[in-house]
Structure 1
Amino acid sequence: MSSTLTVTAKGQVTLRKDVLRHLGIQPGEKITVEKLPDGRVEVKAARPTGHISDIFGFFKNEEGISLSIDDMNQVIADGWAGKR
């Protein structure tokens, strides 16, 4: 199924909600556009490229010591209370 889009005077194109839904894109997320031969483009949802292991250093204090579950719960509670 194809869709026809209009290019604005600024050279911008707005993707319709059904197209965004098909791509799995939510407001604020990014897309990638790859230029292909013959004037074609490929539009895809930009997916994070990090590794799950990147999160391991996230739950450490300033000294590099891993936080306990109680410490993590306190950080979460402070965040909800607007203290961070």
Structure 2
Amino acid sequence: MKDQTWHLKRGDELVAALVVVGADYPWLQAHVEPTPAFDDVKHLFEQLESDEDAWASATAEIRSTLTLVDPNGTPVAEYLLHIDGESAWWRWVD
């Protein structure tokens, strides 16, 4: 697989680099390289993984707060992103 890095941003600020390590269509898997800004949003991903009842609200808050940018620099229209420690997996719609 060609080396790909996606970016998770809050406005113009880089929150994390997501370095793709595998794929299981329609999901991509990546190693997470967080920046210090990730600390401000980490709780959203922890809530997403730990509380099934809060899944919808956590997903909505992630999407409204963060932008997922593909390796070409294009923000994706919609996505479902999970981050657990140093691992991430997501699917998206252009």
Shorter-chain TM-score tier: under 0.3
Higher relative contact order (CA 8 A, sep 6+): 2
> More helix per residue: 1 or 2?
1
Q: Which has the larger radius of gyration?
A: 1
TM-score by length of 2: 0.24
Report the structure, 1 or 2, having the larger strand content: 2
